[in-house]
Structure 1
Amino acid sequence: MRSDPLDRWRGVLDLRDVYGGRSDPAFGCLFGVHERLGFRPVASGRGLPLDVSPQTRGAQREGLSGHTWIGWQELAGIDWDEPSERPDSRVRHYRRRDDGTLELVGTYLWDTGFTGRVDVETSAGGPADWAERREWTDGSTVYRADRARRRDAVDTTVWNPVWKIMEVLADVHGPGNVRLVVWFG
């Protein structure tokens, strides 16, 4: 720790060092950027922290937006089973097993191919205007409009390295002394 309270934060690593890819569902669920799943974002629109580290401030350039941050304590307290506030704008595609249960195959955005396969029309409000649990069946294939859970939006295989590093830093420096600062280009 430094004696100057405004200089107590330091950048530890660039997120790109441990996070491989782009995830609009996660960015929307957590930070409110490209939000399409109906979540109230956890840490949206906070801007850069006033006491941002010199490394983070130095990484800023023109064309960046969506600056926000989340602390480890807040992140560790997220209810990953919390449902979205409205049905997901994507359709879940299931395969009906022989025992009648459904196996998730994938999640798809509404498209004309889907509407043609199941003979439905797009609602006036668009795909996100579906009634919750609306279901269309095509043989052993079931399409369903459901509410997403936060865990559906944030792929743990991609984000776990970030969470693990933050957790280790929280163990060493205290949970209130670790945060993730993000922005989007």
Structure 2
Amino acid sequence: MGTDIYGHIEARHPCADEDWYDWDAWAVSMPLHPLYDGRDHESFGCLFGVRNRLGWAPVAAGRGLPADASEPVRTEYEDCVRIDAAIHGCTWVSWAELRDLDMSVHSAARGVIDVHSGLGSSISRHRVDDQWPDDVVKEYGVPPLGASPVEAPMGCWEVSGATLEYRPMTRLDALGPGTGWDHVFEVMRALALRFGAEGVRLVVWFD
């Protein structure tokens, strides 16, 4: 069963700390959707520790709703919680944190096997540690790369009309070009030119 993400990009006004400033410090700049409308669990785990099946050290897990969240974000989140008991994982991350991410960091898993079916767009992903995944071996046999993934090279092979790829998983794979997160990051980067890296953040929650 999939997990969905909801949220907004917020920006903090540069004059929010001035005595004359009478408005909310933080304001909604843009909802996460349609910049990102996927449900990729690897990115959720990598950034927020949600559905973290590959054992990432998450960037910003479990922080909750910011105490100074903008009123629209607070209202939407509280409404979601009120009508949906499955809402969980509320947290936030600043552009300063995202900007400075080391995108070469690997997940705790040794790697993943991506199975591309003959249908073209159908892909399933399997975590690889010190043994080949049982479900992969059962359906496709032991990978021709070797009896154990411990010393096996990364590579691709074909079985029964499916293409299998054993590869590492880095933050760049989870968050880089083509994932949808690149669009989110570009908007936050642009907003930071006006509001500063610490003055732009993404607030999210899941169901």
**Shorter-normalised TM range:** 0.7 to 0.9
User: How many residues of Structure 1 are paired with residues of Structure 2 in the alignment?
Assistant: 163
Task: Tell me, yes or no, if structure 1 residue 18 matches structure 2 residue 35.
Answer: yes
Q: Partner residue of 2:125?
A: 108
Q: Partner residue of 1:179?
A: 201
User: For structure 2, which runs of at least 5 residues remain unmatched after alignment?
Assistant: 1-12, 117-122, 127-132
Backbone CA RMSD of aligned residues: 3.1
Instruction: Give me the whole-angstrom Cα distance separating, in 2, the residues matched to 1:144 and 1:81.
Output: 19
Q: Partner residue of 1:84?
A: 107
Instruction: Give me the whole-angstrom Cα distance separating, in 2, the residues matched to 1:113 and 1:74.
Output: 36
Q: Partner residue of 1:100?
A: none
Structure 2 contact 155–167 (Cα < 8 Å) conserved: no
Change (3 A) 1:27 1:139: closer
The amino acid that maps onto 2:104 is D
Change (3 A) 1:78 1:137: closer
1:117 Cα offset (Å): 2.3
The amino acid that maps onto 2:96 is Q
Change (3 A) 1:82 1:113: closer
Task: Tell me, yes or no, if structure 1 residue 162 matches structure 2 residue 179.
Answer: no
SS in 1 for 2:184: helix
1:174 Cα offset (Å): 1.0
Structure 2 contact 154–167 (Cα < 8 Å) conserved: no
1:42 Cα offset (Å): 0.5
Q: Partner residue of 1:75?
A: 98
TM-score of the two chains, using structure 1 as the length reference: 0.74
Q: Partner residue of 1:40?
A: 57
User: For structure 1, which runs of at least 5 residues remain unmatched after alignment?
Assistant: 95-105, 121-129
**Percent same amino acid among aligned pairs?**
33
What whole-Å deviation, never above 9, does each CA across 1:51-110 have from its counterpart, x for those lacking one?
11111101112232100110000000001111123324x31469xxxxxxxxxxx76325
Instruction: Give me the whole-angstrom Cα distance separating, in 2, the residues matched to 1:114 and 1:135.
Output: 17
1:175 Cα offset (Å): 1.0
1:111 Cα offset (Å): 6.2
Change (3 A) 1:138 1:114: farther
TM-score of the two chains, using structure 2 as the length reference: 0.66
Q: Which has the higher strand share?
A: 2
